[in-house]
Homo-oligomer: A and B are copies of this chain.
Amino acid sequence: MLSTRKTNWGRWGDDDELGALNLLTPDRVLAALRLPKSGKTYSLGIPIQRSGVPNLEYRGIPQRLTMMNHQDEAMARANGGAPGVGANEDQLVMPSHTSTHMDALCHVYSDNKIYNGFPADEVTPYSGAAKCSIANVGGITGRGVLIDVAASKGVSVLEPGYVITADDLRTALDAQGVELETGDLVLVRTGWLEDYLANQGEMMPQPGIGLEAAAFLAEKDVALVGADNAAIEPIPFDQNVYLGVHIILLVEHGIHLVEHLDLAELSADKCYEFLLTIGALKITGGTASPVSPVAIG
């Protein structure tokens, strides 16, 4: 086990597939509704497009393809459409782990097991994940907390490959005057995404939270961790542990992850506490879902 704390396996029952999302009780939801002050809406998703955004080559680029437009108006006409009336429709072809997306608890396995001890060999080509698929998540709402590590360090972006420590998180929280609470949806800002979008630089290396920082968040009993980078964790991996932070958070603690979040506007507004809502698509058997999280400040 990578973390020092006991894991969450069995904590919500041997059949549990939700993990730390169980912490999002109605009471906590109601409390989160009282946080917003400005009523301003923040969209935290990035554009889904072929280029200009972080796309990893081995997965292929996401493609929106026009399936039908005004040139196909004969189809509308054949169904009784008046001249000049028609519909535009797309097809989407995209990796589920591209763009802003939420990892399902089945995404990563360790010791041949996913969260809660379910076997790793139950993700099959046709049916997908038998357990802990993204279809279990649906919509979630709770208290969102931004930990703006880049701002706390007074830089626009952390160094490539920088390993964020638990102390870094604590220092940033202190500077922000915010305390973590059970069931928080924690979003960590490294500045990486803004830098990438502005400069169209390299995907790797990337800053991210290290193993110790992951264990710290797990100890705090947060419900979800997000970040503006590609993998929450740094690349190269902290201490060279392949997917180490995924293993601590996703596998051991059942904490869902959201990657490639656009946190620029929250940071600019110094909006550190907010209502956060994420609607994961109920992709049957899915290992992730593209998401468009919504914060209300």
Contacts and interface: CB of A to CB of B under 8 A. Distances in A.
A85 B243 contact: yes
B277 A68 contact: no
B242 A41 contact: no
A20 B95 CA distance: 32
Interface string A142-163: 0000000000000000000000
Contact of A139 (B76, B108, B129, B294): B294
How many copies of the chain does the oligomer comprise?
A: 4
Nearest to A125: B66
Given A41-B29, A48-B282, A293-B279, A60 B125 contact: no
A89 B81 contact: no
A34 B281 CA distance: 26
B72 A125 contact: yes
A226 interface: no
A197 interface: no
Contacts of A242: 76, 79-82, 85
Interface in A31-61: 33-34, 36, 38-51, 57-61
A291 interface: yes
A140 B242 CA distance: 37
Interface in A216-243: 237, 240, 242-243
Contact of A39 (B27, B49, B123): B27
A64 interface: yes
Interface in A74-111: 75-76, 79-82, 84-97, 99, 106-111
Contacts of A34: 33
B51 A89 contact: no
A198 interface: no
Interface range for A: 35 or more
A173 interface: no
A70 B24 CA distance: 31
A288 B67 CA distance: 12
A138 B33 contact: no
A287 interface: yes
Nearest to A61: B60
23 contacts: A47-B283, A48-B284, A49-B283, A59-B89, A60-B61, A60-B91, A64-B285, A65-B65, A65-B125, A66-B124, A69-B123, A72-B124, A80-B237, A80-B240, A90-B287, A90-B288, A92-B283, A139-B292, A141-B277, A277-B277, A279-B294, A282-B292, A291-B292
Q: Which 7 A-B pairs have the closest CB atoms?
A: A139-B294, A43-B138, A26-B39, A279-B292, A71-B124, A30-B39, A49-B284
